[in-house]
Amino acid sequence: MKDMDERLYEAAIRGDVEKLLDLLNEDALKKADEPFLDRVMRNCIGKDNPLHLGALFGHNEFVREISSRKPEFACQLNSKGLSPLHLAAERGHVLVVKVLLETNADVCFVRDRDGRIPLQLAVIKGRVEVIEELVKAKNITAWLLTDEREPILHFCAKHDQFDALKKLVSLVKDDGFVRLKDNSDNTILHLLSAKKQIKEERRDEEEEEEKEKQEEESLDFIP
């Protein structure tokens, strides 16, 4: 017979709330010295906990149930240095993000092993709806720099996530936000202008290469 921990993890993967409640009732009948979820939390340090799995697979009702009973799961990092909110934000599970924020909005500030908060992972993947929920919950997260001292608008441009950039500007609505500078003393407007110039130069180069190619092909027809 599978042990309780294994059955809990299977329930998390499937989003099986009924199985979770059955396990909690089973544990209560045993009258163990250490509550079931406390033991699970102690044993999964540095690994995925059940909330990680529920968040990863987008099971918002399972996430709601287990996080209400053990909110501390939300701040644990797995072997990849990610919290449950990092996983939900990266995957674009908006309902799960909402549930986690309702339980404890401060998880917005948890950084992964690379120093990134959930908002920054949402930007990388272009999860615009998730970005909106995170910024509404904790507006200050939009002002936080990356570990490389990079403002989030610059981070959007770096990853070519311009819908995310527009959404952030519309949410924050602060001229100071747009005027934030990177380590090279560039505002986002400077950076976007430079990216546009580079794009135009590349297009010109491609057009010139295509023109030369066509000229070479034309020469092949000369007897």
Domains of the chain and CATH, by start: 4-186 (1.25.40.20)
Residue 50 vs residue 191, higher pLDDT: 50
Task: Give percent above pLDDT 70 in the chain.
Answer: 85
Average pLDDT, the chain: 88
pLDDT per residue over 175-218, tens digit each? 999 999 999 899 998 888 756 654 544 554 555 555 555 545 55
What's the confidence (pLDDT) of residue 206? 53
Q: How far is Cα 130 from Cα 100, in angstroms, rounded to an integer?
A: 12
| 123 within 8 A of 134, measured Cβ to Cβ | no
Q: How far is Cα 132 from Cα 119, in angstroms, rounded to an integer?
A: 9
Winning range, highest mean pLDDT, from 23-32, 40-49, 86-95, 148-157: 86-95
Q: In angstroms, what CA-CA distances link 143 with 29, 72, 93, 174, 216?
A: 49, 26, 23, 11, 53
As a whole number of Å, the end-to-end CA separation of the chain is 84
- Sorted by sequence, the CB contacts under 8 Å of residue 16 that are 6+ apart come out as 10, 62
